[in-house]
Structure 1
Amino acid sequence: MEARSAVIQPRHGCPHPPHLKSSLLLILLLGVWYGQALEMITGKIPYLEAVNGSTVLLPCKYASCIGIEDLYFRWSFNDTDPQNKLCDAVIHDETSEPNVKVYKDRVEFIGHNIEQNVSILLWNITFDDGGVYTCYGKNPKEKGRYHNATFTLVVVDQLTVVDNTLAKLIATCVGGALGLLMCYVLLKNFTLWVMAQMEERNKEGLITSSGIDNTENGLSGSKSTPKPTPKKA
């Protein structure tokens, strides 16, 4: 008898093509890279209204999960052109302070690298200083990608006084309503207590009156009726 060898045929599935695996790997690497990217931060409320002639702080901090190396930063005003800048510097590492160059009058750098702070002050602002200020950062560890955050400054003659008359009126009405409600509750409880006391006294009066009637009528519980004297034989 001729022996036949069993041949196992491979199953026909849908193997992942090589380019799909490469794409997934690239997306993963990009996600990790963006998650570690440099971030410039100008605060939760990047907006300020200031009076003409005052001094204002323009806040900016940087953050990077992979650290910095020769981080370049600059402040610009109303323009994204690198030539139109207020100040700039290079921060070599996390422990060194930058040698900041200031290009405009009334601008002062007040940041500290140990706090990752690159904020500036504007002295004696004028109406011409109103506009958008941009804080840039570029970390060579990220192949020189630029990151930025903006801060808007509005210069006014005087600060707007907020009219809180309506808020006071609402608070007064709410307080009055709560006061009336409390008075109503107290009055209701007092009335119920008085009525309970009166009802209790009425019950006591009825019991006393019932006892007196029973005594007068010779009923059980009243005074005993004297028995007649027995006759002698």
Structure 2
Amino acid sequence: MESLTSSRTPCCLLGLVVLSALTFSPTLAIEVYTDREVHGTVGSKVHLSCTFWSSEWISDDISVTWHYQPDNSRNTYSIFHYSKGQAHIDDTGIFKERIEWVGYPRSKDGSIIVHNLDFSDNGTFTCDVKNPPDVVGKSSYVHLLVYDKGPVRAGMVLGIIIGAALGLVILVAILAYLIRYCWLRRQIRVQRELSALERGKLHKLSKSLKSGRQAPLLSMLDQTRSFKSSDKKKGSGDSRRK
């Protein structure tokens, strides 16, 4: 009896381990991802991205469904459905002929584009993906806000401020360079004028010195000439007396 009990114990323990593993093992679920909020302007288009991850291979039975709930309303509308490789777009609702299927389930993409936006399109869009047998998971939603003009975001404002500051710094640097350039040119011109004046003064001084040296010589020549002429006069008078 003891041997039978001891032999059954390992089998019972193994069964408990397997049962506990099956009971507590986590169930893999499909995961869907979208943006939390997107913006658009009246008359433009917006890309509603929807990607997913599945633990199973992408099957031919995969389906993608988009729902829409307007702001200030509890009603939800099915606006798009993809299954069996075919896209089925709502041709009677508020998005008639305005939805474009751009997804590719093989690449785990179920995105759509909404064209010709209007203020009435403000609301929540929900993307739901099923990939049998992986059908357990939560849908993902994105909120659309339509503006008359594009909203000014904080990042855009910061970029504008930084750009303006850089432009101001560059402008100040250019002005400083121009001022310094003009000052240097003025200094060079002044130096040239001063050097020209100095050269003119030196030239005048040299001329005056030369003229000062020539004046005594001329006076001496005049004296010698007058002395010679007086001698000649005396000689001629003496000869006449004899």
TM-score, length-normalised on structure 2?
Answer: 0.50
Equivalent pair of 1:76/1:82 in contact (CA under 8 Å): no
Q: Which residue of 1 aligns with 2:23?
A: 26
Q: Map of 1:1-233 to 2, 5 A cutoff?
A: 22-28=19-25, 31=26, 33-34=27-28, 37-42=29-34, 45-69=35-59, 70-78=61-69, 84-91=77-84, 98-103=85-90, 104-105=95-96, 106-142=98-134, 144-161=135-152, 162-164=156-158, 167=162
**Aligned letter for 1:85?**
S
Counterparts of 1:82 and 1:71, CA distance in 2: 26
Equivalent pair of 2:58/2:106 in contact (CA under 8 Å): no
Structure 2: stretches of 5+ with no match in the other structure: 1-5, 7-11, 170-242
> Per-residue deviation at 1:155?
0.6
Structure 1: stretches of 5+ with no match in the other structure: 1-9, 92-97, 175-233
**Aligned letter for 2:31?**
E
Q: Deviations over 1:113-149 (max 9, x none)?
A: 332222111010101111111000123313x435311
Percent identity reads 23
Q: Deviations over 1:71-130 (max 9, x none)?
A: 222000118x99721110214xxxxxx211001411111112332222111010101111
> Per-residue deviation at 1:59?
0.9
Counterparts of 2:131 and 2:52, CA distance in 1: 10
Counterparts of 2:23 and 2:75, CA distance in 1: 32
> Per-residue deviation at 1:171?
7.4
**Aligned letter for 2:23?**
L
Higher helix share: 2
Q: Tell me how many residue pairs correspond in the alignment.
A: 147
Alignment CA distance shift 1:40-1:118 (3 Å) = same
Counterparts of 1:89 and 1:123, CA distance in 2: 19
**Aligned letter for 1:102?**
I
Give the aligned CA root-mean-square deviation in angstroms. 3.6
**Aligned letter for 2:144?**
L
Larger Rg: 2
Alignment CA distance shift 1:168-1:59 (3 Å) = closer
Equivalent pair of 1:68/1:141 in contact (CA under 8 Å): no
TM-score, length-normalised on structure 1?
Answer: 0.52
